[in-house]
Amino acid sequence: MRAIQHVHSDVPNQWIGDGFYVKTVINHLAGTPEFNHTHTDPFLLLDYGEPTYFAPNPDYEARPHGIGLHPHKGFDIVTVAYHGELCHFDTAGGQGTLTNGDVQWMTAGRGIMHEEFHSPKFSREGGIFNTVQLWVNLPRAHKYTEPRYQTLRRAEMPNVPLYDSQQATRTLGSATLIAGELRQTEGRIDTFSPINLWDIALDKVGTTSVHVPKSHTLMILVQEGAVRVQDTTVMAGSLVQFAAPTCSTLVDGAVDAGAYDTVRLSVSREALKQDNSVKLLLLSGQPLGEPMAGHGPFVMNTKQELAQAFHDYKNGVFGKVPATT
């Protein structure tokens, strides 16, 4: 069973543009020795937009809430729209509206420009807006890959039941797979490195377990309710950082059964009195173990590559294939 390293629960809220009120619970630019990009590899950033009420915006046609066109390079940008509606457009031709747990998985690769705004419908009506955005680093070999956009509707995502550890036939909730694999069920997002991204909902009292590779970086974001993770009670808005991964053992090319860690999740009667369900986002991923040079919207491997990215952006050649890579 993987030990908990730390629970991060004191992160302040901040505005991203005027449409996203978030807690940045992972930040690859942070210099804290105890929690920086070496501890979260391959994950770079996680903005948790906890449920926030937005009044109707009568000026939405001229001044929609959100973020205008801006660049990214060298990583994947993953957005989950739990409540409200979010419109996306990018210069690689990706566009769409996300709602009710839909996901966009945008690969910036060698460079992309995109914008995100509250939809016209949500802007007119107002309501609760709740999103998560995750940045996933790309391996060096794929930093200059062609940008792409994957859309995944909530109804298309595989759902795996989670059973009570004491009563094998009693379900306590489920894990909705955005990416990765759980109990021989695979998510539908194509990733450049091994990633698990699971939405977990628990709506009954009891204890259940999930298993993740020992070789993965592992974190859990508690979005709603209170849950006991391993032996620690964690409240909504907190990020659970687990101990560093250990190496997997391969047997005849397959992952040995002993190469998985158990994560135990328990929900009490008192917790369910406050909320109808406990909602978590589990993220695990194989660390890339590569140098990282990041600033603002660009994440490369060296300072020279980073400087080149800014040069290209300022000189109108952003997103073009370099002469040599």
Domains defined for the chain, CATH in brackets: 4-285 (2.60.120.10)
What's the confidence (pLDDT) of residue 258?
59
pTM given for the model? 0.93
Give 64-88 pLDDT, tens digit per residue: 999 999 999 999 999 999 999 999 9
Q: What is the mean pLDDT of the chain?
A: 92
Residues of the chain with pLDDT under 50: 249-251, 255, 257, 325
CB atoms within 10 A of CB 19: 23
Provide the 3-class DSSP secondary structure of residue 209. Answer: strand
What's the confidence (pLDDT) of residue 270?
84
Give 242-263 pLDDT, tens digit per residue: 999 986 544 455 545 458 999 9
Sign of CA dihedral 108, 106, 294, 215: negative
Enumerate long-range contacts of 57-65, CB under 8 Å, 24 or more apart. 57/118, 57/123, 57/124, 57/126, 60/118, 60/120, 60/123, 60/124, 61/120, 64/19, 64/117, 64/118, 64/120, 64/123, 65/17, 65/18, 65/19, 65/117, 65/118, 65/123
Q: Are 213 and 194 in contact (CB under 8 A)?
A: yes
Q: Which two tokens stand for residue 103?
A: 């996901």
Provide the 3-class DSSP secondary structure of residue 305. Answer: helix
